[in-house]
């Protein structure tokens, strides 16, 4: 039939293609450093102990049912999620200039935020370009362009230092037309693991204020990066203190290990001022209209798990410990990989592995070296040399270090 006849075949998603190749590999030595999902020291998915407890609470609730949630989501979840990212004493909360919508995790939050901006963020009748870090999470580009927004990039990663391309980043933000949309990763940048320092965040905010840019924070790793929920939210909180109007996408995939449950939120924060509450009410009403036509209402289970943890002080304290377990194991693996490469005298410098933070390390391995690691050593990572630190464990880190040493020589 005619319309389907003309549909071209799309390429397979690179990351999910890599996962398929890994699963098909029968080598007992194979190592998965591809997907950004936490694994324990046995390379197994880890259900957080606090999530198991929340699960019991939910299942034992005699009132449990499978009714629809309201369009904007489960209130005990959305209100605590806002406190988590903004801080419970945030002026934005006390001044009632925040609007939160529960979304299909971080992906859905980026999408809903992008859709909202494409509809309403116009200067002289036209949308503004969204500036993305180069590189960024592979999905940003297509989520934003799918809703008709134009994207451009700002330098982020310095190949020589394997750290932040700070000057280039600031220059590009300064050169972007006024009122551009700047997408920022507030912590544990994916894919590089490189974050600005506090001082650098202050300078970035200053330039953005000068140019009246609109910040869109994509926060997928709060608490997972440093192990400290407040520290990982500090960039977002600083921008709010500075009086920006902004959007935040928030995911609970990594920090609660709720990957497949799709728990997340989109937060809109109005700039302070006499009309802030009224603006917030209008924005809320439009977000609800968009949400209704997109998904009607969000999924209930992950939101209930998160709400149970966020609203119970004992479970919340236990969650902090679970976060320390995950971030601590990853930090240990960073130290182990670096020291093994240094012991082997592997050509190059390897301090960036411990300087970087969060789920990923941008190793600096080139495409050929990545291909050799897969072909000869059954070690799987994305073509850009990004490794998911969670795929390393005390059993395979020696093997990986020796393999890297071989392909680099
Ligand atoms: N944003 C960034 C930067 C990410 O790294 C991810 C996941 O890897 C997401 C958003 C979305 O994740 P999810 O949709 O599972 O919350």
pLDDT at position 276 is 98
Is 56 exposed, middle or buried, given 0-12, 13-18 or 19+ CB atoms closer than 10 A?
A: exposed
Q: Is the CB of 35 under 6 A from ligand 1?
A: no
**Placement of tokens 């929920």 in the chain:** 229
Q: What are phi and psi of 366, to 5 degrees?
A: -90, 175
Give me 8's structure tokens: 């071209």
Enter the DSSP assignment of 33.
-
Q: What's the 252 CA to ligand 1 centre distance in angstroms?
A: 9
Question: Can you tell me the distance from the alpha carbon of 172 to that of 209, in angstroms, rounded to the nearest whole number?
Answer: 14
pLDDT value at position 5? 84
402 CB-near residues (< 8 Å, 6+ apart) = 340, 344
Quick one: CA torsion of 129, 130, 131, 132, rounded to 10 degrees? Answer: -150
Question: How high is the pLDDT of residue 12?
Answer: 87
Burial (CB < 10 A; 0-12, 13-18, 19+), residue 363, is buried
The token pair at 66 is 């499978």
What's the pLDDT score for residue 201? 98
pLDDT for 2: 73
181 forms bridges with which residues in the sheet? 130, 214
Task: Give the integer Cα–Cα distance in Å for 403 and 194.
Answer: 24
Rg (the chain; Cα; Å): 22
Instruction: Please list the ranges in the chain whose pLDDT falls under 70.
Output: 1
Torsion of CA 354, 360, 366, 367, to 10 degrees: 160
SS (H, E, C) 67-123: CCCCCCCCHHHHHHHHHHHHCCCCHHHHCCCEEEEEEEHHHHHHHHHHHHHHHHCEE
pLDDT digits (tens, 9 = 90+) for 317-328: 999 999 999 999
> CB of 218 closer than 6 A to ligand 1?
yes
Please tell me if the CB atom of residue 185 comes closer than 6 angstroms to any atom of ligand 1: yes
Distance between CA atoms of residues 321 and 153, nearest Å: 37
Q: What is the pLDDT of residues 209-248, one digit of tens each?
A: 999 999 999 999 999 999 999 999 999 999 999 999 999 9
264 lines ligand 1 (CB under 6 A): yes
pLDDT value at residue 13:
86
Which residue do the tokens 């700039």 mark?
271
Q: Helix (H, G, I), strand (E, B), or coil: what is residue 187? A: coil
What value, to the nearest 5°, has the Cα angle with vertex 66 and ends 64 and 71? Answer: 115
Q: Whose CA is nearest to atom 13 of ligand 1?
A: 106
Whole-angstrom distance, CA of residue 340 vs CA of residue 334: 10
ipTM here: 0.99
| pLDDT value, residue 390 | 96
Ligand 1 atom at minimum distance from 264 CA: 16
Positions annotated as catalytic residues are 137, 218, 254
Closest ligand 1 atom, residue 106 Cα: 16
77: left (phi over 0), alpha (psi -120 to 50) or beta: alpha
Asked whether 388 lines ligand 1 (CB < 6 A), one says: no
Helices (H) and strands (E) in the chain, counts: 17, 15
């Amino acid at each position: 039939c005619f319309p389907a006849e003309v549909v071209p075949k799309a390429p397979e998603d690179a990351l999910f293609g890599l996962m398929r190749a890994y699963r098909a590999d029968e080598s007992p030595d194979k190592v998965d450093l591809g997907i950004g999902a936490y694994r324990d020291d046995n390379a197994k998915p880890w259900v957080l102990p606090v999530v198991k407890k929340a699960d019991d609470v939910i299942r034992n609730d005699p009132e449990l049912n499978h009714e629809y949630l309201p369009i904007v989501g489960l209130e005990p979840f959305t209100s605590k999620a806002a406190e988590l990212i903004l801080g419970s004493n945030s002026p934005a909360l006390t001044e009632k200039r925040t609007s939160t919508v529960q979304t299909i995790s971080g992906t859905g939050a980026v999408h809903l935020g992008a859709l909202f901006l494409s509809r309403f963020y116009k200067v002289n009748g036209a949308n503004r370009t969204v500036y993305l870090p180069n590189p960024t999470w592979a999905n940003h580009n297509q989520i934003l362009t799918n809703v008709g927004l134009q994207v451009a990039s700002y330098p982020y990663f310095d190949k020589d230092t394997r750290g932040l391309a700070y000057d280039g980043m600031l220059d590009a933000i300064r050169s972007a037309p006024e009122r551009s949309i700047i997408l920022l990763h507030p912590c544990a940048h994916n894919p590089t693991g490189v974050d600005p320092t506090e001082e650098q965040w202050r300078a970035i905010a200053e330039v953005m204020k000068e140019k009246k840019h609109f910040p869109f924070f994509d926060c997928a790793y709060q608490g997972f990066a440093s192990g400290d929920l407040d520290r990982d939210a500090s960039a977002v909180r600083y921008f709010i203190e500075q009086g920006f109007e902004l959007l935040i996408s928030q995911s609970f995939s990594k920090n609660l290990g709720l990957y497949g449950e799709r728990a997340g939120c989109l937060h809109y924060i109005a700039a302070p001022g006499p009309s802030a509450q009224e603006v917030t009410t209008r924005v809320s009403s439009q977000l609800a209209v968009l949400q209704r036509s997109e998904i009607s209402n969000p999924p209930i289970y992950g939101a209930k798990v998160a709400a149970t943890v966020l609203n119970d002080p004992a479970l919340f304290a236990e969650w902090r410990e679970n976060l320390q377990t995950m971030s601590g194991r990853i930090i240990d693996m960073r130290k182990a990989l670096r020291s093994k490469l240094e012991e082997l005298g592997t050509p190059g410098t390897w301090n960036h592995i411990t300087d970087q933070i969060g789920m990923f390390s941008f190793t600096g391995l080139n495409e050929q070296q990545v291909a050799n690691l897969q072909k000869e050593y059954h070690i799987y990572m994305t073509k850009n040399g990004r490794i998911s630190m969670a795929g390393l464990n005390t059993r395979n880190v020696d093997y990986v270090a020796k393999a890297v040493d071989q392909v680099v020589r």
